[in-house]
Amino acid sequence: MKAVRSNEWLLLFNPYFTGANPLITNHFPIAIGTQFSVMGFFNKLFGKKEKQSLDEGLKKTKEGFLSKITKAIAGKSAVDEEVLDNLEEALVGADVGIETTVKIIDRIEKRVSKDKYLNSGELNKMLQEEIESLLVDAPSSNSYAFDSELPAKPYIILVVGVNGVGKTTTIGKLAYNFKNAGKEVLLGAADTFRAAAVDQLTIWSERVGVPIVKQAMGSDPAAVAFDTVQSAVSKQSDVVLIDTAGRLHNKAHLMDELSKIKRVIQKTIPDAPHEVLLVLDGSTGQNALEQAKHFTAATDVTALAITKLDGTAKGGVVLAIANQFKIPVKFIGVGEKMEDLLVFDKHEFVDSLFNLDSKD
């Protein structure tokens, strides 16, 4: 199927779109080679082990993505409309989303119209730069890694997300990695509505070897959160991870519940929670976008954790979510092991997406 150009996408999916720019139908031909070379970015924060986990975790996504990109320019001597159409298909096929894809292609069109003599390596680098530019950085005042100094002590992270996205597992892996970096971690089981939630978090606390604050099923979640923060202060904990109920049946109820939890936390620590971390399942593709819409409408989400990227070919949803909501991705899950929850590094993510040479 032939891809549609720029504003045509928006007209197809949004009949009320009134973009002022005319449809772009002509492209400047640019001489390129037939091979799509790979150019890497290696950030000092990323070790060899983390890089290998990232490469392996994105394997399914990049196989489909890169094969389509390679096909897009194979045998071509210029970047023409067909090349850009095929590039659009590759991006949409990886669940980058219509809106984000249009933005990337439009930016590339503008750049190639100015630089008519790009080689394939330069075009590849340009694509990586445009994709990377869509990924939002966390503000420096709230930027951290597992082994870095945290912006506050205790640092309170309120974890939100629907049931089934890997929320409890993500909390367990966060606890493991923070503890492994030498930090004192405390868990709070404030999802008191789902029968197995407290039990599951208790199992993680025992597995990781960190304390947990919990009450009986059906208890007031805000009371659990209050007790957790009080305990964290007395224990001088470094990091507090509070689980919350994952229901979306009633947005108003969800908003009220999360607001109440925040209010009781602030009785002890006025500027807490310091992070509201939304956990999304990357393997659900565009459904993750819908979940993000609900939660960002209900509470002030400050960061994202995107899980299960190793089991999907649609890892491009990371780009769609980051671009649409302008919320930084802090963590990504790329495997089953506890070490496979990685601090997100946009340079390395894009590099792995384009890296043909990673080993299985």
Mean per-residue pLDDT, 78-105: 81
Confidence of residue 250 (pLDDT cuts 50, 70, 90): low
Listed range (23-27, 176-180, 274-278, 347-351) with the worst mean pLDDT: 23-27
Q: Identify the top-confidence range among 41-55, 79-93, 296-310.
A: 296-310
- Distance between CA atoms of residues 269 and 166, nearest Å: 28
Mean per-residue pLDDT, 10-17: 36
Mean per-residue pLDDT, 204-211: 96
pLDDT at 88: 86
Listed range (119-128, 196-205, 253-262, 279-288) with the worst mean pLDDT: 119-128
Question: What kind and span of H or E run contains 162?
Answer: none
Q: Calculate the average pLDDT of the chain.
A: 79
The dihedrals phi and psi of 208, each to the nearest 5 degrees, come to -85, -30
pLDDT at 156: 97
Contact indicator for 110, 330 with CB cutoff of 8 Å: no
Q: Which 3 state secondary structure label does DSSP give 349? A: helix
Confidence of residue 196 (pLDDT cuts 50, 70, 90): confident
pLDDT at 187: 98
Show the tokens assigned to 121.
């390596």
Identify which of 320, 308, 313 has the alpha carbon closest to the alpha carbon of residue 282: 308
- Distance between CA atoms of residues 153 and 198, nearest Å: 25
Going by their DSSP bridges, the two strands 341-343 and 329-333 should be labelled as antiparallel
- Whether 41 has a pLDDT exceeding 50, the answer reads no
Number of H helices, E strands in the chain: 13, 8
Report the percentage of the chain scoring pLDDT > 90: 34
Angle between helices 81-93 and 98-114 (to 10 degrees): 150
Confidence of residue 66 (pLDDT cuts 50, 70, 90): low
pLDDT at 227: 97
Burial of 234 (0-12, 13-18, 19+ CB in 10 A): exposed
- Whether 199 has a pLDDT exceeding 70, the answer reads yes
Give tens-digit pLDDT for 317-342. Answer: 888 888 888 999 999 988 888 888 99
Contact indicator for 184, 238 with CB cutoff of 8 Å: yes
Burial of 107 (0-12, 13-18, 19+ CB in 10 A): middle
Confidence of residue 302 (pLDDT cuts 50, 70, 90): very high
Contact indicator for 58, 334 with CB cutoff of 8 Å: yes
- Whether 200 has a pLDDT exceeding 90, the answer reads yes
First to last CA, the chain: 32
Tokens 């006025």, located at residue: 270
DSSP 165: S
Q: For residue 212, what are the β-bridge partners?
A: 187
- Whether 45 has a pLDDT exceeding 90, the answer reads no
Give tens-digit pLDDT for 212-245. Answer: 999 988 899 999 999 999 999 999 999 999 999 8
pLDDT at 62: 67
Q: Which 3 state secondary structure label does DSSP give 190? A: coil
Question: What kind and span of H or E run contains 92?
Answer: helix 81-93
Phi-psi region of 277 (alpha: psi -120 to 50; beta: other; left: phi over 0): beta
pLDDT at 153: 95
Going by their DSSP bridges, the two strands 303-307 and 275-281 should be labelled as parallel
